Structure 1
Amino acid sequence: MQATVRTFDPATRAGTVLVDDGVELSYDADALTGTGLRHLRLGQRVQIEVDGSGPTTRVRSLRIYTLRE
């Protein structure tokens, strides 16, 4: 699923993304674990994987959209 970085706190490495359908989801530093990412820019496009649905949805992993494995 694609999203846009809405907020990012460099101290905690947590923030929020805005999914393309307008839903705002939060993420914590665990979502960046193993990605090598140290910083995200506001407005940056990202690829996310989520757990749960509805109000319990949380971002499990996040990576920059243009980076391919």
Structure 2
Amino acid sequence: MQATVFSNDADGVVLVTDTGRRLRAPFSAFAGSGLIHVRPGQRLSVELGADDQVRRAWVVGIGEGERID
């Protein structure tokens, strides 16, 4: 799934999906992604867990096992 960074604060990052759904991503969702900072408007790939919470967020081509071709 793709999402756009809407805002970030001390508790995590607010993302908006292509369907307009807002999701909160805790900083732990970015562990291992190689991302240090995200900015509003940035596009991310997002993986949701069984509880429908963001469990992983990354930019394709950045992070372990990701390649830019």
Give the secondary-structure state (helix, strand or coil) at the position aligned to 2:41. Answer: coil
Give the secondary-structure state (helix, strand or coil) at the position aligned to 2:20. Answer: coil
How many pairs are equivalent?
A: 63
Structure 2: distance between partners of 1:51 and 1:45:
19
Superposed displacement of residue 13, structure 1: 6.7
Structure 2: distance between partners of 1:34 and 1:28:
13
Structure 2: distance between partners of 1:14 and 1:32:
10
User: Given the two structures, how large is their TM-score scaled by the length of structure 2?
Assistant: 0.79
Superposed displacement of residue 15, structure 1: 1.3
Structure 1: 5+ residue stretches without partners: none
The one-letter code matched in structure 1 to 2:12 is: A
1:4 and 1:18 in contact (8 A); partners too: yes
User: Given the two structures, how large is their TM-score scaled by the length of structure 1?
Assistant: 0.79
2:33 and 2:59 in contact (8 A); partners too: no
Superposed displacement of residue 8, structure 1: 1.6
Matched, 1:59 2:54: yes
- Aligned residue among 25, 28, 31 for 2:29: 31
Q: Which has the higher strand share?
A: 1
Q: Percent identity?
A: 35
Superposed displacement of residue 51, structure 1: 1.3
The one-letter code matched in structure 1 to 2:23 is: L
**Alignment RMSD, CA only?**
1.6
2:24 and 2:54 in contact (8 A); partners too: yes
